[in-house]
Amino acid sequence: MVHKRAVRHAAFPRVTYGPMLQRDHERIANLNNIYNCNNVEAIQMLRMRRAPFYALVKTFRERGLLTDSIHTSIEEQVAMFLHVVGHNQRFRVIHNTFRRSTEIISRYFQQELYAIWELRGEMIKPASMNTPTKIKNSYRWFPYFKDCIGAIDGTHVTAKVPRSMYVAFRGRKHYTSQNVLAAVDFDMRFTYVLSRWEGSTHDASILDDSLLRPDGLQIPDGKFYLRDVGYACQPGILPPFRKTRYHLNEFFYAKHRPLNARELFNLRHLSLRVTIERAFAALKNRFKALDQKPFHTFDTQVKLVLACCIVHNWILGWGEDELFEEVVSFDEVETGHGVEAGDNDA
């Protein structure tokens, strides 16, 4: 009696695989194109210039966070990771680009994610206690905000969760999301990040939880963060005046000057607090994995939020690039409309 497996195998012709030289040549040519491109092309592919990319690779190699294998260098491992988070590409798409199996890509992706997390202690640091240069050099903010060390806000990051968690993660955005709390300084660097919260959770509840955590947001005595009107005034948190014009369109698009001291305070409060909105916009503009439907497990999605903030801070350490210039500067808009021209009369 012929075994069923033998019959099934006999029904299909045997495939003879040839040498993989052509595939290897294509991969090497593609990698050389990435490594030897100019900065404009590097930003398009790797989401950063060549200098911070090679510095990141050097850091991983010197600290032993990543190692070269027989067939895959650290440069290729980092490039694959940046392609995934920068363009939100699935592993099977990266497979066609880098000519690696999806298993290898997945393995190196997790290793790269771990390596980036190891940098969180030095890249996500509390804000400086000194008066920020942006405030010190501006008559609009100094000395009124001289003790301000940054801004706090929440943002929604698209999430894919099991059906049993769907209701909790679907909030006012009408899609499942994480509600991420973050703090930034006025150089647009992230100084604190808290992810994993459900999209339906109110921002104030997340902030209260963060302040109670042993490793949560620390606000030194005498210093404060700026926050929008959705939060109550409390020690270390300064929101704008309620029931007073605050939003951008209420001043600029309506072409109304501040009419009293409260409106003037709200306008200057907004012109500083908008820094965190610009930081979120720059982060999601650079890393599409945070702005589009993800395909990773939820635990990986949570880790990716902090990992992208770490890489964001790393890139800022090497100066801004074209992706940051795409984010509209509030200061330029404000100056262009001339709202504060002569606003000291208010």
In tens, the pLDDT along 308-339 reads: 999 999 999 988 766 666 654 444 444 333 33
3-state secondary structure of 271: helix
**pTM recorded for the entire structure:** 0.85
Is residue 113 domain-shared with residue 177, that is, in the same domain? no
Tokens representing 159 are 């999430």
Task: Concatenate the DSSP letters of all residues of 180-194 into one string.
Answer: EEEEE-TTS-EEEEE
- Do 96 and 43 lie in a common domain? yes
Q: In what order do the strands lie in the sheet with 224-226?
A: 190-198, 177-184, 148-158, 224-226, 237-238
User: Which of 87, 118, 149 marks a domain boundary?
Assistant: 118
CA 194 to each of CA 41, 75, 238: distance values in angstroms, whole numbers, following the listed order: 32, 29, 20
Confirm whether 18 is domain-assigned.
no
Q: How many domains does the chain have?
A: 2
Residues 62 and 102 in one domain: yes
Full domain range(s) for residue 95: 23-118
Give SS3 for 198.
strand
Q: What is the pLDDT of residue 326?
A: 61
| pLDDT at res. 83 | 93
Query: Are 174 and 90 members of one domain?
Result: no
Domain boundary among 51, 85, 118: 118
Residue 10: pLDDT band (50, 70, 90) is low
Percent of the chain with pLDDT over 70: 83
Instruction: Let me know whether 133 and 88 are in one domain.
Output: no
| Axis crossing angle, helix 74-87 with helix 102-117, rounded to the nearest 10 | 90
pLDDT at residue 341 tops 50: no
The tokens 């595939």 sit on which residue?
23
Is there a contact between 134 and 271 (Cβ–Cβ < 8 Å)?
A: no
Pairing, β 148-158 against β 224-226:
parallel
Domain closes at, from 90, 118, 146: 118
Dihedral of CA atoms 178, 111, 99, 61 in degrees, nearest 10, equals 130
Question: How many C-beta atoms surround the C-beta of residue 267 within 10 A?
Answer: 25
Same-domain check for residues 111 and 89:
yes
Residues across the chain: 346
Is 275 a domain residue?
A: yes
User: 143: which DSSP letter?
Assistant: T
The verdict on residue 15 lying in a domain is no
What tokens does 241 get? 């005046």
Q: In this predicted model, what pLDDT tens digit does every residue of 262-283 receive, in sequence order?
A: 888 888 888 899 899 999 999 9
Are residues 227 and 255 part of one domain?
yes
In a domain, 14, yes or no: no
What's the whole-number mean pLDDT along residues 180-194? 94
Report d(CA 186, CA 236) in Å as an integer.
17
Same domain, 150 and 277: yes
Q: Are residues 175 and 63 in the same domain?
A: no
Do 281 and 333 fall within a single domain? Answer: yes
- The predicted-structure confidence for 65-108, as pLDDT tens digits, reads as follows 999 988 889 999 999 999 999 999 999 999 888 888 899 999 99
Tell whether 111 is covered by a domain. yes
